[in-house]
Amino acid sequence: MALGVFKNHRFVNYSVESKDACYKLAKNRWYKDGVHNQIAEGNHRLVKTAFSAYKYIRPKFNQLYLNEFSFLKNINVLELDSLESKRLRENFKNSSDEL
The 10s digit of each residue's pLDDT in 19-77 is 777 877 777 777 766 667 777 788 889 889 988 888 888 999 999 999 988 888 887 77
- Predicted confidence band at 1 (pLDDT cuts at 50, 70, 90)? very low
CB atoms within 10 A of CB 51: 13
CA distance 61 to 46: 19
| Domain spans in the chain, listed from the N-terminal domain onward | 12-53, 58-99
Closest-CA residue to 73 (of 63, 64, 84, 81): 81
Is the pTM higher than 0.85? The answer reads no
